[in-house]
């Protein structure tokens, strides 16, 4: 099983008025518990300003160095095409902003039963609870790699990641 860990950075939290400004993806092998590919790109000219710059530290001017949204989505599609399941923290944020790739989503915030109790819902809280150091968050590739490290740590703590993902998918299908 291969997971496509996906993260989207936006210019704010409103899905109607705020734009995608960065997309990242990490392909993670459940069998080998390792990253097999990683990618991210800024989205060119997606918005005039980055209202979330104080959170994601993406300067508005740097967006001119990105790629057009259709190119970014096409590249993401190539990554996602290699995966069995898409995973995000939280999945409802990312899945609403991306096209339907015909693959099931799992939310690492709500669907996965982690081996350690987490205080809070942030990716940083999840990482710290599982012994993963957090140096930075809120950049697409950084967040994807951080979640991959959490899966690796959970495996070392005895979690059967394949079974956890299968159970998460079953829960999503029932709801």
Q: Please tell me whether residue 133 adopts helix, strand or coil conformation.
A: coil
Q: What angle do CA 87, 93, 96 make, to 5 degrees?
A: 95
- Choose between 98 and 16: higher pLDDT: 98
For residue 121, the tally of other CB atoms under 10 A from its CB is 11
Residue 123 pLDDT > 70: yes
Sorted by where each starts, the structural domains of the chain and their CATH numbers stand as 2-174 (3.30.420.10)
| Mean pLDDT in residue range 37-42 | 98
Dump pLDDT digits (tens) for 96-106.
999 999 999 99
Query: Using 50, 70 and 90 to split pLDDT, how confident is the model at 48?
Result: confident
pLDDT at residue 49 tops 80: yes
Strands 85-88 and 105-107: parallel
pTM: predicted TM-score of the whole model, two decimal places: 0.96
């Amino acid at each position: 099983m291969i997971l496509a860990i996906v993260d989207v950075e936006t210019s704010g939290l409103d899905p109607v008025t705020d734009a995608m400004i960065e997309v990242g993806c990490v392909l993670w092998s459940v069998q080998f518990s390792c990253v097999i590919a990683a990618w991210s790109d800024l989205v060119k000219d997606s918005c005039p300003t980055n209202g979330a710059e104080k959170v994601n530290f993406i300067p508005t001017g740097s967006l001119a160095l990105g790629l057009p949204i259709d190119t970014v989505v096409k590249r993401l599609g190539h990554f996602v095409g290699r995966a069995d399941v898409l995973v995000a923290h939280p999945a409802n944020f990312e899945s609403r902003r991306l096209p339907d790739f015909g693959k099931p989503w799992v939310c690492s915030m709500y669907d996965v039963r982690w081996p350690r109790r987490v205080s809070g819902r942030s990716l940083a809280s999840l990482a710290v609870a599982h012994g993963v150091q957090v140096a930075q968050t809120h950049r697409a590739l950084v967040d994807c790699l951080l979640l991959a490290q959490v899966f690796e740590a959970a495996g070392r703590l005895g979690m059967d990641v394949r079974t956890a993902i299968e159970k998460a998918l079953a829960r999503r299908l029932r709801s």
